[in-house]
Amino acid sequence: MTTHPNQRVAIISGGNRGLGLSIATRLAEQGMQVVIGVRERLAGREAETALASKGLTVHSHELDVTDPASVARAVADVAAQLGRLDVLINNAAVAVDRGQAASAPDFERVRATLDTNLLGAWRLAAAAVPEMRKNSYGRIVNITSHLGSQSNMGTGNVSYRVSKAGLNALTQILAAEVAGTGILVNAASPGRTNTRMAYGETERTPEEAADTPVWLATLPEGGPTGGLFYERKPLGW
């Protein structure tokens, strides 16, 4: 992998399909050097080939966000091989508890959900921030959900809701911590997007849903930080 001195470099977790792949496509079209994190190498190669057919060069790297060593290795490899890291899209997530109630939890599912949706994003952000600080520039976009918004809290999907509510809190905390360093941290809710996690209840395509995350990933200096956005509009926490 090679990059030009001023070319932005982005990592997208879970970037080989659905929303992640749509975001990767858009950022590559804008001239970024894009690395998609994948759990299986073959899935990464297939995504690379699919985008190459569109004239886009995208790289893949094995990345398991639940494995601290995998996270550290992926970020270190990208920074070493491409010389920098400018953008992180925390897109990898699971939804495995649709009918679960808080009063009767399956804690194995709770643990798996939190480890991916919250701790996975946290691990990646913690690894990425030091690299971003080197160039006094960074854009971190956490893909969240309306289900994690305090203004939309309700029953069902309990561990998913908790994980996304925690991700929203992490977004605000990180944004406050890196204020003034050139790093902006925001969250984007894609709505009911046509992906494998939507259970068939969809209202938009991944291509349509990619608009707001891509906008947040390319914010100019002085752009918003610490916010939750839907269709580029602030959504109440």
Q: Where in the sequence numbering do the catalytic residues fall?
A: 160
3-class DSSP string for the chain: CCCCCCCCEEEEECCCCHHHHHHHHHHHHCCCEEEEEECCHHHHHHHHHHHHCCCCCEEEEECCCCCHHHHHHHHHHHHHHHCCCCEEEECCCCCCCCCCECCECCHHHHHHHHHHHHHHHHHHHHHHHHHHHCCCCEEEEEECCHHHCHHHCCCCCHHHHHHHHHHHHHHHHHHHHCCCCCEEEEEECCCCECCHHHCCCCCECHHHHCHHHHHHHCCCCCCCCCCEEECCEECCC
For tokens 């699971």, the residue is: 94
Closest by CA to 37, choosing from 72, 2, 83, is 72
Interatomic CA distance for residues 195 and 175, integer angstroms? 28
Interatomic CA distance for residues 210 and 69, integer angstroms? 29
Interatomic CA distance for residues 33 and 53, integer angstroms? 17
